[in-house]
Structure 1
């Protein structure tokens, strides 16, 4: 197996786990995906819909706000390069954690914020970062922290949207992408 395939599949040649997955809902997934793609150690991103109550929804269906899904980005990362804690800290730089169902000009339950995990061992790290971040706000944070119930990949035209459409709509300022590109974890 080639190194690129090993990274994408999350395994080393000896079968050991080399990557981890975490799911971030940060408003419109175009900007959230582009933000995380800038961070060193992120090896794959995929936009889709998480924690809803229908099977394999389309973007059009999710847009109605009747499916319970949040626009979400799967972030696969190499924990030898970047930690979950650092990714969570970066996530909080890209959202308003006190805004319910609204990020930037985008409103609706599909734009809610959340961190969805598949490994219960990640929960203590998630809770630690949430507690640290809450100290920065007088209002309570409304960011979900839940196990991932389901995730459906969005249509192809949504994948890498801002790479394909550099002048496309984004709720995040361009300066935030540059910040993410330059950010390094202090280990």
Structure 2
């Protein structure tokens, strides 16, 4: 009998970046890139890029909570993107690149609120955290060419200049949480 996996839904800028980070964590079975938090049904990437649909580029993380917990996922989430910039991650600008947690359960909502409160109390970031915490409504899977993007396109300049530093940071600070190949 296969264990039921838990699902976490995050938006932290470009989904190529967040997928690449979370896919490497032990206990994460798979990660799906997609769109959530918007106001039209079945959006396509070309529509998301305009910023007019209200969707964020997000990921769904399917994980085994006996190996990695939701709070550990939050820790990695906040360590690998800037939660203090509204509708922006680096050079990626627009509501589709906002920082957000789309909770699936009240426990995830409460854990997210507690985690952000602790970060703010400890003044971990120089600026206030603007990460939204919103109940997940619907998640639309991105097109096939956006799935597993980093692993399939490591030589592309975007991957080398934007994603590689995130992977390096993950390897440096979270080596004990990484999958062994």
Give 1:57's match in structure 2, choosing from 17, 32, 43. Answer: 43
Which SS does the other structure have where 1:65 is aligned? Answer: coil
1:137 aligns with 2:130: no
Structure 2 alignment gaps of length 5 or more: none
Aligned length: 171
Q: Distance in 2 between matches of 1:45 and 1:87?
A: 12
* CA deviation profile, 1:22-80 (whole Å, cap 9, x unmatched): 11101000010000011111111000001100000000001010000000000011000
The two structures, once aligned, show a CA RMSD in angstroms of 1.7
1:42 aligns with 2:28: yes
Q: Distance in 2 between matches of 1:124 and 1:62?
A: 29
Give 2:17's match in structure 1, choosing from 23, 31, 48. Answer: 31
Cα displacement (A) at 1:137: 2.6
- Length-normalised TM-score, structure 1: 0.85
Q: Is the 8 Å Cα contact of residues 80 and 170 (structure 2) preserved in structure 1? A: no
Which SS does the other structure have where 1:55 is aligned? Answer: coil
Cα displacement (A) at 1:19: 1.5
| Cα separation, partners in 2 of 1:180 and 1:21, compared to 1, 3 Å | farther
Superposed structure 1 runs of 4+ greater than 6 Å apart: none
| Cα separation, partners in 2 of 1:130 and 1:181, compared to 1, 3 Å | closer
Structure 1 residues 30-179: aligned runs within 5 Å: 30-134=16-120, 135=122, 136-168=124-156, 169-170=158-159, 171-172=162-163, 173=165, 174-179=167-172
| Cα separation, partners in 2 of 1:38 and 1:176, compared to 1, 3 Å | same
